[in-house]
Every structure is written in structure tokens, then in C-alpha cells.
Amino acid sequence: MKKLSLLVLIFISTFSFAQTEDALVYLEAKDPTVVATGLADPVTILTQAAIDRKNAQGIVIDDRDVPLNETQKATIEAAAGISVLAKSKWLNAVYVRGTQNNINNLLNLTFVTDVEFADKSLNRPTGGKQFTKDKFEIENQSRPVYNYGSATNQTEMINVDYLHENNYTGQDILVAYMDNGYPGVLTNPAYATLRNEGRLKGYYDFVAREENYIGTGSHGAGTFSDAAGFLNGQFVGTAPGASYYLFITEDDNSESPAEEAYWVEALERADSLGVYVTNTSLSYQTFDNTSFDHEYVDLDGQTTIAARGSNAAFDKGLINVVSAGNAGNDFGYVATPSDAPGSLTIGAVDANGNYVSFSSRGPNSAGVIKPDVMAKGLDAAIVSQNGNVTTASGTSFSSPITAGAVASLWGAVPTLKNNVVMQAIRESADRYNNPTNQYGYGIPDFGAALDYLLTLGTEQQMLDTNFALYPNPVSTQINISFPKSVENAKFALYNVLGEKILQTRITSMKNSIDVSGLSSGMYIASITSNNKTTSYKIIKE
């Protein structure tokens, strides 16, 4: 009996060790010479559009923008029993599939620094699991035709029509979609204008590794319409003037963290192409292999592959609009990448602005408020892959409604940084001062956000091209803000009789003047630079 038990134990152990696992394999730091060469000539590693967007926003191009070592990737691909499914230059890692033994053998390669298994029990202890379910269960429910014309309710709810009335429809803004497939996109009449104007920039299937738009499902065909669709007199998306890339990162044939890795790789591609806004109507929490499941503790916005990718994309200047998920009636919380601070997470409301129970709630496990804002997700208007206006439900549709609105908004102020635009959207929402776990900050008002950002943009432009003096009135010390192109100037101060009482040289580093000894009253300051003199009225308290 003891011998039999030992044989059974050996068999179970061997089987466990031989089963297929997924893992993220981290590479050594990129070669400093390669990094230096890439950073010295960024156009060799990024498109000019990407460089222009980063420069406009003051985003630093760094070693994360340099591609990972393809020779090292090829070596891993050639290793026994290993399949490389995806790669990430931001994480400097490749996503692999193989047995635990074969994956661990990769640690023998001198350039592999660490292995992170999707099965968290192979990395650290983990708790109970959630069952795997169809993430598109709610979206795939059949809905009656509900043609209310130009998607009026979902557009006016977040005041995107105000942007369109002011001719901000996403012009010159690149948007990337991540989904499971876009069948009909080359024939659908809702995209005829998009195609004819050359604004469908391209598509790629990261799962099949080919230039294709079909994928394994039609979910993306519906989500895409909420931003890009246009059927005159019937339906208008929230960014009908934007340009789009369509990426496939979701594989309907299986559910694994590999899809998170595909998604991060697509984000990197989007960044390199100069994309401003991404839409992701996907979220990840449970998988076919329950050992890979994300527990609530993992959803802290920093742990999962997708969360780390979203944060890196945010650092690179993108706004990642992500659906909160449809787990409100079971798991409850937002999954990933909707847990990430780098994601603008969107929950669902009905036509009256009321919370819909399927919409996943916050906060993330680190206490960050999620969702960020809400949009219509119950009976949202969409255009089907065949060009018919219909309705569908799920946060999958509240997300692209918002993503299009973000593109239209950012098109008005493209030089403002992503964090400024995101915060303006949050602050425009109706519950900003009293956020909740269901609504986050509430339903945004993109018209109010536009007015604020236009003012901010004008002020920023003035600061970039003009001197500014502050505080005013002043009591002890006045500071001078320099425009970007000026490093030094001559400062003079006159009393109301026109008598010069002070003159000095100022620089962008030595830019403060002590006025504590002056009597209270009005003075005139003049600043001369590049043969141009500008005068300012100063009140001394």
C-alpha cells in the first residue's frame, strides 16, 4: 500500500510539473549603447507623429521607448518547449507558454533576470478563485432595434454635442481600439466617410500575428461604432472626425493573461504611432486556468500585466479609456486594466443617468476611486457589423462613448498633457465633490471640461510666449515667469511720476525682485528682452 501511495504521489507530482503554464519573462537591462543611439535619434525607434505628440506634451522619451532585444527574444523562442506569445518593450519582458520546468530553465539564460508565473501559487500564496464566465454575456444578449437617431441620449448625457457644435470632433487625433474583431469595417456604411477620408489608418491582429481586422468575434464592431460611426440622420459617434487604428488583442477561443500581454504590446504599438486615446472594452479577472485568476488584492492598479502596461502608457502621454467591467452582480469590483491609475475607467448608467447593477464597482484594492466617470451602458445605441442601428448593453459601450468624447475634447487642446485633460473630465462630473463606489465621480460634462481647458490652454500659451509677474498685489517679493524662448532680460520699476527707482538684470533662474522696502501704492514695471519692452501695473501693499 505504501508503494502504491508513493507511485500515485510521483504521478501527481510529475503531471503537475508537466502541465502548461504562462509566465512573463523579464530581460536584463537594455544595452546602454543601443539605448543611447535610440534616444539620440528618436525617429529610429518612434514615428514622427509619436515624437511630435510627446514633445507637445513634454513627455520624456526614455529607455522604455527603445525596443527590447530581439536576439534575446529569439533565443527564448528557440528554447525547448517554449512558445513566445507577446513581447513588451515597456516591461522589457516576453510572455511565454510552456511547462513550469521549461519556463524555469529560462533562468539559466544569462540575460533572463526573473520569471513571473500567471499561476500566482508558483510565485506566492494565493486565495480562493472565481469561476470563469463569458465576459460578453451581457453585451451579447439580443436587444430590440432602438433607433433614436444620432445616438441623442448618450451624446447629450455627457454634453459631447457641445463639442461638435464648436467643431471639435476629434480632427487630427489618433485613436486606437483594442478588442476581439471588427468584421464588416471595410464595407459597413457607418464607416464610409471614415474610409473615404483615409482616416482608417490600419489594423493588426496581435493574437494571430497578422494584418487582419476579422479576429475571433464581432464585439469590436459594435464598440467601434460608438465613437467612429456616422449614418447621416440616424447615428453619429462621439468622435466622427478622428482617425483610427484597430487592434485585436482578445482571443475568444481562450481566456488567459496572454491577452493582457497582447494588450500591452498593442499599447506600445499605439504609442509608437502617435496615438492620443485608446479604447479598451475588455477586462480580466478570471481565466480558463483558475490558478491564473486575479484576486481582489491583485487589483491594486500596480500588480497585473495590464495595469502595469496602462500605467506605462499613461506615463508616455496616452489616455487609456477602459470599461469598468460587468461584474457588478457577482465579483463586484473593477477588474484589470480598469484598476490602474493610468486608466480612465468608465462605468454604466441608464438613459436617466441611474447606476446599472451590472456595472463593476470600486475602489481598486489600493483604495483608488474607480470607476472614474460614467456614461450610458444600458441600451446604448450602436451600429451593427451589417450597418443597422440597434442597441446593446454593457460597460463595453459606455467606454467607447467616452473615448470618442475624450478624442473630441483633446483635439481642442492637443498640447495639454494627458493628466490635465483627465482631471478636467473628472472635475466636470456631477459627483466630483462626493464620489461613490458605484458612480465614481459621476457623469462628466464635456462641454464644461472644454470651456475650462480652452481657458487653461490660452493661459498656458500666454505663459509660454510672455513674461508674467506674480503675486500682484505684492507685499515683499515679486516673481517673474519667463517665456520658453527667453533666458535673460532687463527689469525696471517706475513710480507714478515716471521716475525710475529700480533697474536690474534678471534671468530665468534669478527671477525674483525684493520690493519690501517700497512704499504702498501703484508702480509700473517694464521688462525688456530681444528689443521688445512690455509694461505691467504693480500694486504694492
Domain of 358, CATH number, reads 3.40.50.200
Whole-number pLDDT of residue 207 = 96
Residue 8: band (very low, low, confident or very high) from pLDDT cuts 50, 70, 90: very low
Q: Report yes or no on 128 lying in a domain.
A: no
Whole-number pLDDT of residue 36 = 87
Whole-number pLDDT of residue 144 = 38
Residues with Cβ within 8 Å of residue 531, at least 6 apart in sequence: none
Whole-number pLDDT of residue 277 = 98
| 497: pLDDT strictly greater than 90 | no
Whole-number pLDDT of residue 130 = 42
CA distance 274 to 114: 31
Mean pLDDT, the chain, integer = 89
Do 447 and 510 lie in one domain? The reply is no
Parent domain of 106: 2-122
Average pLDDT over residues 294-298: 97
Q: Report yes or no on 141 lying in a domain.
A: no
**Out of 55-64, 349-358, 364-373, 437-446, which region has the weakest mean confidence (pLDDT)?**
55-64
Whole-number pLDDT of residue 330 = 94
- What is the per-residue pLDDT across 234-282, written as a single tens digit (0 to 9) for each? 999 999 999 999 999 999 999 999 999 999 999 999 999 999 999 999 9
Q: Grid coordinates representing 69?
A: 532585444
pTM comes to 0.76
Q: Grid coordinates representing 435?
A: 464620489
Whole-number pLDDT of residue 472 = 85
308-66-264 Cα angle (round to 5): 30
Average pLDDT over residues 333-351: 98
| 479: pLDDT strictly greater than 50 | yes
- What is the per-residue pLDDT across 385-404, written as a single tens digit (0 to 9) for each? 999 999 999 999 999 999 99
Q: How many CB atoms are located within 10 Å of the residue 423 CB?
A: 14
- What is the per-residue pLDDT across 504-526, written as a single tens digit (0 to 9) for each? 999 888 888 999 989 998 898 98
Return phi, psi of residue 211, to 5°. -80, 100
| 14: pLDDT strictly greater than 80 | no
Task: Scan for cell 510521483, then name that residue.
Answer: 10
Residue 499: band (very low, low, confident or very high) from pLDDT cuts 50, 70, 90: confident
Higher pLDDT, 127 or 449: 449
Do 316 and 425 lie in one domain? The reply is yes
Q: Grid coordinates representing 118?
A: 500567471
Do 287 and 425 lie in one domain? The reply is yes
C-alpha distances in Å from residue 190, one per residue of 104, 111, 144, 226, 246: 50, 49, 19, 10, 15
Q: Report yes or no on 17 lying in a domain.
A: yes
Q: Report yes or no on 130 lying in a domain.
A: no
Do 285 and 389 lie in one domain? The reply is yes
Alpha-carbon Rg for the chain, nearest whole angstrom, is 27
Cβ-contact 316, 161 below 8 angstroms: no
| 29: pLDDT strictly greater than 50 | yes
Task: Strands of 103-207 (E only): list them.
Answer: 112-117, 174-179, 200-205
SS3 call for 482: coil
- What is the per-residue pLDDT across 424-446, written as a single tens digit (0 to 9) for each? 999 999 999 999 999 999 999 99
Closest-CA residue to 274 (of 200, 173, 206, 197): 173
CA distance 352 to 375: 11
C-alpha distances in Å from residue 238, one per residue of 117, 274, 401, 408, 424: 40, 20, 6, 7, 18
Do 291 and 415 lie in one domain? The reply is yes
Do 284 and 363 lie in one domain? The reply is yes
- What is the per-residue pLDDT across 184-230, written as a single tens digit (0 to 9) for each? 999 999 999 999 999 999 999 999 999 999 999 999 999 999 999 99
Q: Report yes or no on 146 lying in a domain.
A: no
Percentage with pLDDT > 70 across the chain: 90
Whole-number pLDDT of residue 298 = 96
- What is the per-residue pLDDT across 75-112, written as a single tens digit (0 to 9) for each? 999 999 999 999 999 999 999 999 999 999 999 999 99
Higher pLDDT, 14 or 469: 469
| 457: pLDDT strictly greater than 70 | no
| 12: pLDDT strictly greater than 60 | no
Task: Tell me the β-bridge partners of 246.
Answer: 177, 203
Whole-number pLDDT of residue 378 = 97
Whole-number pLDDT of residue 139 = 61
| 367: pLDDT strictly greater than 60 | yes
Cβ-contact 540, 519 below 8 angstroms: yes
Do 81 and 189 lie in one domain? The reply is no
> Which of 15-24, 383-392, 450-459, 522-531: highest mean pLDDT?
383-392
Q: Report yes or no on 511 lying in a domain.
A: yes
Whole-number pLDDT of residue 129 = 37
Do 118 and 260 lie in one domain? The reply is no
Percentage with pLDDT > 90 across the chain: 71
**Out of 3-17, 53-67, 131-145, which region has the weakest mean confidence (pLDDT)?**
3-17
Do 232 and 316 lie in one domain? The reply is yes
Average pLDDT over residues 410-416: 92
Instruction: State how many domains the chain has.
Output: 3
**Which of 73, 103, 122 is a domain's end point?**
122
